[in-house]
Structure 1
Amino acid sequence: MARPHVLVIPYPAQGHVLPLMSFSRYLAKQGIQITFINTVFNHNCIINSLSESSHDYVEDEINLVSIPDGLEDSPEERSIPGKLSESVLRFMPTKVEELIERMIAESTIISCVVADQSLGWAIEVAAKFEIRRAAFCPAAAASMVLGFSIQKLVDDGLIESDGTPKVNKTIQLSPGMPKMETDKFVWVCLKNKESQKNIFELMLQNNKSIESTDWLLCNSVYELETAAFGLYPQILPIGPIGWSQSLGDDKFTSIGSFLPQDRDCLDWLDRHIPGSVIYVAFGSFGFMSKVQLEELAIGLELTKRPVLWVTGSGDQPPIKPGSGLVKVVRWAPQREVLSHRAIGCFVSHCGWNSTLEGAGNGIPFVCIPNFADQFINKAYICDVWKIGLEFEQDELGVVSKLEVKKKIDEVMRNDGEYTKRAMMVKEVMMKSVAKDGVSYGNLDKFVNWIKEKVN
């Protein structure tokens, strides 16, 4: 019998590529052939970051292909979310369509296109070729529900038709969902009109395109977002993707990373007692003013606890030379780090992947969100699940060193209140991907659907 062949298309950013790569690995383990489409720039980053053993694994399991994205080869330009959204909307659709045409001309049968939910046009391209299609949301269901609620927000007089807030107000889309501030909506909080316009336009187009998808999958957990899934039952939770034991060796969990990982930090963690280390990481886009970096560094030093700090593409933190309590790396195998017994607290920007990885390992958070969906995720962590605290900013918008020390001490205090709740959330997440779990069941149905129409 012929193997089904799935074409996977992520939005070209690190936080989107990683979960879709995990999903692709899961599908490959079920005997499904995968072609994974990256932009040329991201494709080269991934190839250059692979270890030798990972190279062999990818060649055996997943076919990595690339298309141009119309941007300069500078990381600076690519780190501007609005720029990327503009390129994704204006340039990439034609390139994906040309690739599918070539594959069909070579008699390749594509069983299904799995596209990032942020790429509604990819669903339209698949529909044009009469290929079955699934949208994959790498963010919380609440983020998708916010996007689907745009017209209601306009009708209720909360935002203009271009997405600009009319009022500064905290809203709740339904009881049980996280509260959201209108001036921090996903498309608003970039404080840049051009970026806002590009992202808002992309979201509006996605809302229309997504109507023609066969499946709407979300890298989330039903029990953690019951209210959001209740509002839109067509969104099916399949997360946390990649946590199923069927994926095999841990060292492959970060295939799709744009930066090579420093695995020495795992040996460093081995030398520390359980629950003692503060893990600091702000994702691949992590950016912070020099003043804020200084306050954060001093505040961490005041805790007198060991710190593992991941800089990503951000600035080197101003750590005093010779400080044996601090380990600084550019990029880490985050899921392995967060599962290490030494980690006691996660100082995070609250990207959804980091949120799932921290919560899925029973780690409490201290939150410092920057933009996009990070404010929604922070609200889940602090207000809904109650497994962390948010740093409060002063009148200049800076988190002071004393605030850093205070919140970390509170989260890591001896009674372990936050850790206990985080361990309860971990248990809920583990049940979701175990047999009889909601996520496991949805994944199983999807795989069977992929396979059922293969000749």
Structure 2
Amino acid sequence: MTPRPHALVIPYPAQGHVIPLLELAHALVARGFTVTFANSEFNHHRVVAAMADTTTKDGSTGLLDRIRLVAVPDGMDPGEDRSNLVRLTVVMAEHMAPRVEDLIRRSHGETTEDDDTGDGPITCMVADYNLGTWALDVARRTRIKSAAIWPASAAVLASILSIHRLIHENIIDSNDGSALTQATFQLSPDMPVMHTAHLAWNCIGSHEGQEALFRYLIGGVRAVEKCDFILCNSFHGAEHATFARFPKVLPIGPLLTGERRGKAVGHFWRPEDDACISWLDAQPARSVVYVAFGSFTMFDSRQFQELALGLELCGRPFLWVVRPDIVHGDVHDYPDGFLGRVVGAGGRGMVVAWSPQQRVLAHPAVACFVSHCGWNSTMEGVRNGVPFLAWPYFADQFVNKVYICDVWKVGLEAEANESGVITKEHIAGRVEELMSDGGIRERVEAMKKVSHESVKEGGSSHDNFDMFVEAMKT
């Protein structure tokens, strides 16, 4: 019997990347593939621990049919800060590449060690674009087909693919990518306005780290030009101008992220229970303010307290996801008496450490989404027809905010005052604006329809994925 095609899928080691790439792995399985999913060792253990309640007696998990999770050391010490993305990106290239290459060669029986893949030879690779050159170089050395997957907006990918143009037009410096004369630019008249300070390499870490990341990304541009496909978790209706300008980038989204048969997949935090869904069931339709800021966003104490007081001031039911690493004295705490007044028995708010976000946003009780504008959250909000209060934190989130507020016009921006604080009064006022703006509601419902049509049979994203799959099988 002919063995199944076998894909090696490698995410960048951050939750916002692991989740969509694991969903891509499921989509490949549905098209007849076996998948080896190579996470960093650190994140592998987090994902497995978060999925512990789905594990069967034999150690396998029913949610990962024909997906084998493997761990690859990222080169950092156990206690090192993996939110230092520049160091993580550079170090993992040196340490992960030889391990991944060995994994592929063992699957082909090219070493004296036993084949430990258990699923036949690896025939192709799908690597997160943000890994840079090393993964695609491994694919070329081992002579397997390769694709790069960009899990954020196509517009942000376009800014990276346009680095040489931005240098030529004197928008950024050729040595370190820093801004020269222009604060903003557009790659084409129909694409979102971008700010040079928000380019991926200009808003992470120190200047030295930014320069290293800029050089890393330039190398990635050269590498990705040689792979077979560039995929993107977006859809034509969301970014038609970008896809028209960069036709090699194929939209295959929006991917349904983070959920499989009602269970979380790919998350780093283990769900406590589904109490928030039961709580939502008891709320009126379109009444709840959902607040979630992703896996990296951090507030100072004053801003955290203003957000809490703003949710109290708005007088609406709210569901607020507060990661366990930013409370209980580690960073800051709630305003005095807040939890007693508005959370818990008799209160109109609920605070949780984790939520099944896809299920929450699909719930009829949810009226709006206070979001950091990460791309996964943006696509989840759009595909569920939920208006946004856009509150970006760093990197691509600012471009996503431009899409939400200025291009698609499906949300409003949370704006800081002259002291850089988004006040409780502003938060409460914006929530009321969102609740009463019928135009925003109509536009986001229209986008929801287009997003669903794109992934149905005959839709553009569905057809693009089928074309990609057939090419990788042969």
The TM-score normalised by the length of structure 1 is 0.94
Q: 2:130 aligned with 1:112, yes or no?
A: no
Please give the residue correspondences for 1:31-430 in structure 2 after superposition, counting only pairs within 5 Å: 31-53=32-54, 56-58=61-63, 60-74=65-79, 77-105=81-109, 106=114, 108-119=120-131, 120-161=133-174, 162-190=176-204, 192-242=206-256, 250-252=261-263, 254-262=264-272, 263-312=274-323, 314-316=325-327, 318=334, 320-322=338-340, 323=342, 324-413=347-436, 415-430=437-452
Instruction: Confirm or deny: 8 A CA contact 1:360 1:430 kept in the other structure.
Output: yes
**Compared with structure 1, are the counterparts of its residues 195 and 313 closer, same or farther at alpha carbon in structure 2 (3 Å cutoff)?**
farther
2:330 matched to which residue of 1?
none
Tell me how far 1:158 sits from its aligned partner: 1.2
Instruction: Confirm or deny: 8 A CA contact 1:40 1:67 kept in the other structure.
Output: yes
Aligned counterparts of 2:252 and 2:199: Cα–Cα separation in 1 = 25
**Compared with structure 1, are the counterparts of its residues 285 and 248 closer, same or farther at alpha carbon in structure 2 (3 Å cutoff)?**
closer
AA of the residue aligned to 1:131 = I
Aligned counterparts of 1:312 and 1:80: Cα–Cα separation in 2 = 18
1:14-73 CA distances to partner (integer Å, 9 max, x unpaired)? 001100000101111222100000011100001100043365224533100011001132
Tell me how far 1:103 sits from its aligned partner: 2.5
- SS of equivalent residue, structure 1 residue 397: coil
AA of the residue aligned to 1:436 = G
Tell me how far 1:313 sits from its aligned partner: 5.2
Aligned counterparts of 2:239 and 2:147: Cα–Cα separation in 1 = 21
Aligned counterparts of 2:442 and 2:37: Cα–Cα separation in 1 = 39
Which residue of 462, 467, 473 maps to 1:440? 462
Aligned counterparts of 1:190 and 1:357: Cα–Cα separation in 2 = 25
Aligned counterparts of 2:189 and 2:261: Cα–Cα separation in 1 = 38
Tell me how far 1:386 sits from its aligned partner: 0.2
Tell me how far 1:89 sits from its aligned partner: 3.1
Tell me how far 1:196 sits from its aligned partner: 1.3
AA of the residue aligned to 2:72 = I
**Compared with structure 1, are the counterparts of its residues 224 and 272 closer, same or farther at alpha carbon in structure 2 (3 Å cutoff)?**
same
**Compared with structure 1, are the counterparts of its residues 92 and 141 closer, same or farther at alpha carbon in structure 2 (3 Å cutoff)?**
same
Tell me how far 1:238 sits from its aligned partner: 0.4
- SS of equivalent residue, structure 2 residue 9: strand
1:202-260 CA distances to partner (integer Å, 9 max, x unpaired)? 211110110111111111001110111011100001001237xxx995414x3111111
Please give the residue correspondences for 1:25-36 in structure 2 after superposition, counting only pairs within 5 Å: 25-36=26-37
Paired positions, count: 446
Tell me how far 1:188 sits from its aligned partner: 0.9
Tell me how far 1:422 sits from its aligned partner: 0.8
Tell me how far 1:191 sits from its aligned partner: 5.6
AA of the residue aligned to 1:197 = E
Instruction: Confirm or deny: 8 A CA contact 2:256 2:380 kept in the other structure.
Output: no
| More off after superposition, 117-126 vs 420-429 | 117-126
1:370-406 CA distances to partner (integer Å, 9 max, x unpaired)? 1111111111101110000111112221111111111
| More off after superposition, 418-427 vs 190-199 | 190-199
| More off after superposition, 58-67 vs 86-95 | 86-95
Q: Where does the alignment leave 5 or more consecutive residues of structure 1 unmatched?
A: none
Tell me how far 1:168 sits from its aligned partner: 4.7
Tell me how far 1:83 sits from its aligned partner: 2.4
**Compared with structure 1, are the counterparts of its residues 51 and 416 closer, same or farther at alpha carbon in structure 2 (3 Å cutoff)?**
farther
Moved over 6 A (4+): none
Tell me how far 1:315 sits from its aligned partner: 1.9
Aligned counterparts of 1:326 and 1:248: Cα–Cα separation in 2 = 24
- SS of equivalent residue, structure 1 residue 309: strand
Aligned counterparts of 1:194 and 1:134: Cα–Cα separation in 2 = 30
- SS of equivalent residue, structure 2 residue 386: coil
1:110-136 CA distances to partner (integer Å, 9 max, x unpaired)? 211110111232111101111111111
The TM-score normalised by the length of structure 2 is 0.90
**Compared with structure 1, are the counterparts of its residues 265 and 128 closer, same or farther at alpha carbon in structure 2 (3 Å cutoff)?**
same
Instruction: Confirm or deny: 8 A CA contact 1:5 1:32 kept in the other structure.
Output: yes
Aligned counterparts of 1:11 and 1:329: Cα–Cα separation in 2 = 27
**Compared with structure 1, are the counterparts of its residues 30 and 67 closer, same or farther at alpha carbon in structure 2 (3 Å cutoff)?**
same
Tell me the C-alpha RMSD between the 2 structures: 1.8
Tell me how far 1:90 sits from its aligned partner: 3.4
Tell me how far 1:164 sits from its aligned partner: 1.1
| More off after superposition, 34-43 vs 402-411 | 402-411
**Compared with structure 1, are the counterparts of its residues 264 and 383 closer, same or farther at alpha carbon in structure 2 (3 Å cutoff)?**
same
Instruction: Confirm or deny: 8 A CA contact 1:23 1:242 kept in the other structure.
Output: no
Aligned counterparts of 1:235 and 1:110: Cα–Cα separation in 2 = 24
